[in-house]
Structure 1
Amino acid sequence: MASVVGIMNERLFESFLVNHILCHMAGLWRSYQALMAKHPWTLQIITAGSLVGVGDVISQQLIERRGLANHSARRTTKMMSIGFFFVGPVVGGWYKVLDKLVTGGTKSAALKKMLVDQVGFAPCFLGAFLGISGALNGLTVEENVAKLKRDYMDALISNYYLWPPVQIANFYFIPLHHRLAVVQIVAVAWNSYLSWKANKMKRAAVSSMKPVPLVLLITSVLLTTHVPLSTCRPRDLSLVNDQLDDVLLNRAGDDA
């Protein structure tokens, strides 16, 4: 009898805890909505910069496996500054321009926006991002050009693993003032990859290396945060995670 009462109390506590967390999350979302209504541009930029910083933290801790003792706060600060002063204003402004270039909220319009975004904007943005990151890391013009030649196509191919389907959904379902935030939330995994790519120094045997599929990086983040992928079996996820570890460890060895 006592064990039954204990189980009931435990379940009641779990239910209370979940409801309490959900209430707080709902309150935070309402506060975010209120701030967005008052200061949409400022909040979009702050959100973008913060999430670029989160991406760098994930890059250093999960991809490069630096550990807290060797975490570079200076590098995270640099990446956040790129988010605040480049990613936020440029991407947020681009979405406003794109909404005027391609009007309407139909599926066809969403597809056109995705094509314009991925064919016209993404290649330019990616090159500028890597170039600015290199300049902040102290690279000379010659070194920066060499780095772009080495890494640009690799990053662009990885871009196309992730962004086309995300952007179609974003342009079709999400209001304009929330698109940058939605993209940056999805982009935590992408920012991790970009931060890793932007801060790589030397690589051995460059010609033999293949781009890392973004789906593996996203899977790694989801597994680390214990978010289930309902379409995959546990043994499939374990296999993917093992493969990701092998790829990243090999690349870390190349960087050393």
Structure 2
Amino acid sequence: MLKAWKWYQSCLSVHPVKTQVISSGVLWGVGDVAAQFITHSTARRRLQVSEADAKFKVNWKRTAITSLFGFGFVGPVGHLWYDGLDRFIRLSYMGFAAGKNVAQVKEDLKRDFLPALILEGGVWPLVQVANFRYIPVRYQLLYVNMFCLLDSAFLSWLEQQKDAPWKQWFTSFHSLKEGGSQGR
């Protein structure tokens, strides 16, 4: 796993645009197959059709079109967007908006980024799966906005935790990873 991660990081440093474009295409394609599966299983259950009568078949044309959208639009536009954000903003806007200086913002990012990424990376996929599987379309935006509000509250709480003991686990893991890669 660590070798795969190092290979991925080396690809990013060599060809960041190509990697982002390819990743976007693949992720959009995989997401489309997952959406087809969820829609199929929900419809099968709603219509009470047996598994033998309603086998899941991937619509490969739809998946190809969705992947091409990821390759041709989301990847390039996303790359330009985040490249622009990096160039113009560089650091956390919210830290500056709260009146912090550059050193304080950097320290906050070192302390809070990894715990927030890991915790949110575990929650948001579950929120979205529930959204597309159980929430009627007309309420999906409301549902996501509700979680965005909760997410904002969570991120504020996370920032206020400063050096809470539970955050030390994330930073110690990060320190071990850095120490292990320097020895090689």
**How high is the TM-score relative to the length of structure 1?**
0.35
